[in-house]
């Protein structure tokens, strides 16, 4: 591995062990074995590196979701969404430190262009990947409208559940409850 990759590994380790805001640049340098100045050289700032580390950690959850949906061989988008929610909630409960750290960069995004760009790029990719997973197609087969519509809705659902998990993880709905709620919203209203 090169120094850039070492820094990212060190930042992810610090993210889990210390959290986003309690991690210092020196902590990352020590955890990675890299020089302190290399953070600025490779990432621009400690916060930008931590934002990338957060996105990578979230991406690992995403890969777990993708693998679970594929392994389950779910036939319908609703079933794939149910699996997505259940697997993601289980992943978050196993790594509460990453859950806590994953929301922290969003508060910094309006004030830091690098963090904003990293999060915006990561979110754009997540929308495509989430839409692809629910539809059971390849990411390159998801058009812009589907990513913007379906991908954004699934991403918003996941982001909302993430925030709720921070406050009261025991009150979260199951994947089945989420699917039933969406199906209720999609029903045509009864005429009066």
pLDDT digits (tens, 9 = 90+) for 135-151: 888 899 999 999 999 99
Q: Is the pLDDT of residue 1 over 90?
A: no
Angle at 58 between CA 112 and CA 108, to 5 degrees: 15
Q: 128, 125, 61: which is closest to 91 by C-alpha?
A: 61
pTM of the model: 0.76
Residue 136 backbone class (left: φ over 0; alpha: ψ -120 to 50; beta: rest): left
Per domain, the residue ranges of the chain are 54-186
Measured in whole angstroms, the distance separating CA 108 from the mean position of its chain's CA atoms is 16
**Token pair of 161, please?**
């559940």
CB contact set of 14 (below 8 Å; sequence gap of 6+): 23, 27, 28, 31, 50, 53
pLDDT tens digits, residue range 118-174? 889 888 998 998 898 888 888 999 999 999 999 999 889 988 988 888 888 889 999
**Which of 54, 165, 173, 178 minimizes the C-alpha distance to 106?**
54
Paired tokens of 116: 């904003």
Proportion of the chain above pLDDT 70, given as a percent: 91
Alpha-helical (H) ranges within 136-174 are 144-146, 152-167
The pLDDT score that the predictor gives to residue 116 is 86
């Amino acid at each position: 591995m090169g120094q850039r990759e070492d820094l990212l590994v060190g930042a992810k380790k610090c993210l889990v062990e210390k959290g986003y805001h309690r991690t210092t640049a020196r902590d990352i340098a020590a955890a990675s074995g890299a020089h302190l100045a290399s953070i600025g050289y490779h990432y621009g700032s400690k916060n930008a590196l931590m934002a990338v580390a957060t996105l990578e950690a979230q991406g690992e959850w995403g890969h777990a979701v993708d693998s679970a949906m594929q392994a389950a061989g779910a036939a319908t988008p609703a079933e794939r969404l149910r699996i997505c929610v259940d697997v993601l909630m289980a992943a978050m409960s196993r790594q509460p430190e990453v859950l806590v750290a994953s929301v922290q960069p969003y508060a910094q995004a309006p004030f830091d262009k690098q963090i904003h760009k990293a999060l915006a790029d990561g979110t754009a990719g997540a929308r495509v990947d989430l839409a692809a997973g629910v539809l059971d197609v390849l990411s390159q087969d998801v058009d812009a409208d589907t990513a913007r519509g379906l991908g954004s809705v699934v991403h918003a659902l996941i982001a909302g559940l993430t925030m709720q998990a921070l406050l009261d993880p025991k009150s979260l709905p199951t994947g089945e409850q989420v699917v039933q709620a969406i199906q209720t919203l999609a029903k045509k209203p009864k005429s009066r």
